[in-house]
A and B are shown apart, each in its own frame.
Chain A
């Protein structure tokens, strides 16, 4: 298997990871108040793979 095939195979994975990350970040920036400091969530979402965005969506929201 050459490089371009591999790239085509990995593309959807990267794409979905980006979608997950971008959705979490847009929600983070739009929210008026989140649990904890806002900037703390940025590395959690960007650096912790898969689980980071899950944690943000589950616990980041402050119930009004």
Chain B
């Protein structure tokens, strides 16, 4: 793993230069803020929207604090997930295209160190973005709706963080194998949606899929209890290790033509 520190420093500079460190946390913070706000003000929003006949009665039960945080995680699961895929789609494909990857890998650094430096930076950026976004949502929920069970919140935050890192790792791997960054992003995003769908359809048989973490995080918040997630956690950790190895192999592949 020679040169790891230098490579990590390069990744840090790159994250600053491309403003990833600003826009990814900003997106998660906005999503996190907006969910408790819409939950709180939904009756007012509907009332001011007009369009309703005179005398319409709308009764919306006030959601529990856990439910609001669960909805926040669902929001992260669409726009947030897409943002993560788009932020990391060029990690290797872009560097292969403009020649940076060739230039780095002729030096005596192992491909694994090259991929690992990118992965560590991914973990760091995602933890900052998700931590701020979910923390913001937690704070607003406290302020506007009520106080959720903090143990549940922390456990589901951890589960969801692992799921996000898994998706980021898949992005790095597809980025190492494919030539086009956009293809890498959308294959990963599509794959994540399919994983969630399959898990939803065959819940009893396929509870070990990595998307089980996402489902467990949401149900932990909304119902207070969650299906067992140990299986999916183990599968996810093993797949992250495998994906990184494949990415290291893919990074040294020469582009053809």
Contact = CB atoms under 8 A, between A and B. Distances in A.
B246 to A, nearest CB: 24
B143 A50 contact: no
Contacts of B86: 54, 57-58
B22 A19 contact: yes
B27 A20 contact: yes
Interface in A29-64: 50-51, 53-54, 57-59, 61, 63-64
Nearest to A22: B22
Interface stretch (B28-36, B61-69, B152-160): B28-36
Interface residues on A, range: 20 to 34
- Most B CB contacts (10 A, CB to CB) among A10, A16, A61, A64 go to A16
B83 A54 contact: yes
Interface residues on B, range: 20 to 34
B87 interface: yes
12 contacts: A9-B37, A10-B37, A12-B33, A20-B30, A50-B27, A50-B30, A50-B31, A53-B26, A57-B19, A57-B23, A57-B87, A63-B97
Interface of B: 18-20, 22-23, 26-27, 29-31, 33-34, 37, 79, 82-83, 86-87, 89-90, 94, 97-98, 136, 140, 143-144, 182, 185
Given A9-B37, A16-B30, A24-B23, 7 more contacts: A9-B144, A16-B29, A20-B22, A20-B27, A51-B79, A57-B87, A63-B98
Interface of A: 9-10, 12-13, 16-17, 19-20, 23-24, 27, 50-51, 53-54, 57-59, 61, 63-64
> Which 4 A-B residue pairings sit nearest by Cβ, starting from the closest?
A58-B86, A20-B26, A13-B33, A23-B22
